[in-house]
A and B are shown apart, each in its own frame.
Chain A
């Protein structure tokens, strides 16, 4: 059963955001978080950057339709808001390439078929520079764990094998955890003696 979209190969121009430490407030400001739906965040992706800089790539027509985003290091730091991932996927992005990602954002992305790819610093710098031309097309393939650049060079990336299996097959964690229901029950029984907390009556 496929519960989330499957991730396989993505080929697209790459939209560069050559900034370090892009926080989730910058990805989607808090004022847009009052919705109870997962939809509609794409239109406010990078809202502050778009409003303050006419040359920000999202304001440039030639990057329309890009599904790969390239950025520097520690992308997605700050708030745990999964809305940041929904804003990226809502705007059509399927892959983010960076030097590193923050932890919570990394986990949230895997749950929403947004593929995060960590490449060596010098390769990311090369893509960031070249991608300012919107005809720079990058291919990301999860199956072979490679990123192929227009110059023909191919770069491998690390990816957790369990997570890869889930992404390729569109599986989510709930069913996996539920398949261990008996273990969970046993654990809670064992743990009962050391339980000193209940929220009942609060």
Chain B
């Protein structure tokens, strides 16, 4: 890997965020070329006054039950109407159960939260994807599926993994509930232009290595704050060869290295994915739309504030050992020696190893796991589940392991049923459940019990993320499946 800064950051005090520091507007004047981030930015500036942040237009906001109720309260308390309901789309995913009878939510607060969103959407005429609509699912899975996520758009949601939608060449980022209210009220946000970072993935994946391994590698290399204040554009032959599902996995985890967003310029793969989707432009507008979308590509020689290159040719499956997504190793590699780390990195690592009950220099492969989770907005799409099914076919989940396979949406679930994947999961002894965020974040019924170790296709291994005192190892769906069969952390190489 190599990292280089192509331009000095203007006045960024100790990594304070770009959205609140002076922007990088001088770059385009100097070179007359623009990268995709600048192009989308320029296309959405409503008003820029000297010394003020930009009034910035948002094309689509996705809503879910956890971060929206207080926003509705805020606009209602000021008698403000929703700006444009046809730019909003809501569903329920975080606090919902994934058992069969999920209409019955046992937890009273969660039930109220879901009911509140249902009512708010009705009251404000906002399209709401309810259970059994055929469209409900994790907010970042359903947007692309329905074709509302399109190139060149600005997309926000009260969820940090909104960066997922960047896979389509959209500028998509997570916001807090106050900003959810701002967009509801005005269709705009106050923003400062972010800095840009180019990440080039060189080479091709080896067998058993996937997009998840690539993004975990990047995060491991630059650290959890390595892209703070930046929007990442992913480029390179490996990116061009990726399916939309793989691109979404990569963009999804951009936030785990601190990036404001991550995106990939649209191409034929993008257009083919969108064609025919319910909310994509129809035949009469298709050519016009594609021509517009194609304008969102970085100019040749476009400049970036930072450039990072990652070589995939020798990449091996990656698994995390600590309590943040940057603390990871290739399978076969040992957990790093503490004395090789910088002082503050070392303090973080010592605490992490204590929590995950591992030791420096230990080899991760062979560590017993009690739980295995496939799902989430990172890896809960049909392609992920096909990879898992391929590995589980004709094999059994180890008797010491409880395995959850949770489709990202009702559409993914239906597809699994049509392709017979659900039968493969059940025959292997895995629990194929109803769509939702499930075990990714422990705010519904699905939790890893205290002290138990889980190999997980999700995005965060924070302390207690999957349940109080649970231990999480992030990995690709293939590594999760192989480990579930073996009963311990295992490379998928011999299973694929």
Interface residues of A (CB under 8 A from B): 18-21, 23, 25-26, 29-31, 33-38, 48, 51, 72-74, 77-82, 85, 99-104, 106-108, 110-112, 118-121, 157-158, 160-163, 172-174, 176-178, 180-181, 183-184, 187-188, 191, 194-202
Contact = CB atoms under 8 A, between A and B. Distances in A.
Contacts of A34: 66, 95, 107, 109-110, 112-113, 443
Contacts of B463: 25-26, 48
27 contacts: A18-B347, A23-B460, A25-B460, A34-B95, A78-B460, A80-B174, A80-B176, A100-B14, A101-B15, A103-B18, A104-B176, A108-B178, A111-B179, A121-B14, A158-B11, A173-B179, A173-B190, A177-B55, A180-B188, A183-B55, A184-B47, A184-B57, A188-B57, A197-B150, A198-B279, A199-B89, A202-B279
Interface in B117-172: 127, 129, 135, 146-148, 150, 152-153, 158-160, 162
Interface of B: 11, 13-21, 46-47, 51-53, 55, 57, 59-60, 66-67, 69-70, 73-74, 78, 80, 85-89, 94-95, 107, 109-110, 112-113, 116, 127, 129, 135, 146-148, 150, 152-153, 158-160, 162, 173-179, 181-182, 185-190, 224-225, 228-229, 255, 258, 260, 278-281, 285, 288-289, 292, 324, 344-345, 347-348, 351, 441-443, 460, 462-465, 468
Nearest to A104: B174
Contacts of A80: 67, 158-160, 162, 174-176
A19 B70 CA distance: 30
Contacts of B19: 103, 106-107
A78 B323 CA distance: 12
Given A26-B463, A36-B70, A72-B344, A103 B17 contact: yes
Contacts of B113: 34-36
B51 A178 contact: no
A166 B112 CA distance: 34
Contacts of B186: 174, 177-178, 181, 184
A118 B13 contact: yes
A78 B160 contact: yes
B70 A158 contact: no
B190 A199 contact: no
Contact of B51 (A18, A31, A161, A198): A161
Given A36-B113, A80-B174, A199-B86, A20 B179 contact: no
B469 to A, nearest CB: 8
A169 to B, nearest CB: 14
A51 B450 CA distance: 13
A201 B463 CA distance: 41
Nearest to A198: B86
A50 B289 CA distance: 53
Given A74-B224, A108-B176, A108-B178, A157 B13 contact: yes
Contacts of B69: 36-37
Contacts of B20: 106-107, 110, 160, 163
A19 B442 CA distance: 23
A195 to B, nearest CB: 8
B348 A174 contact: no
A35 B464 contact: no
Contact of A107 (B60, B153, B175, B280): B175
B47 A106 contact: no
B16 A200 contact: no
A162 B20 CA distance: 9
A47 to B, nearest CB: 8
B73 to A, nearest CB: 8
Given A20-B344, A34-B113, A38-B70, A200 B324 contact: no
Contacts of A111: 176, 178-179
A162 B52 contact: yes
Contacts of A172: 178
B146 A202 contact: yes
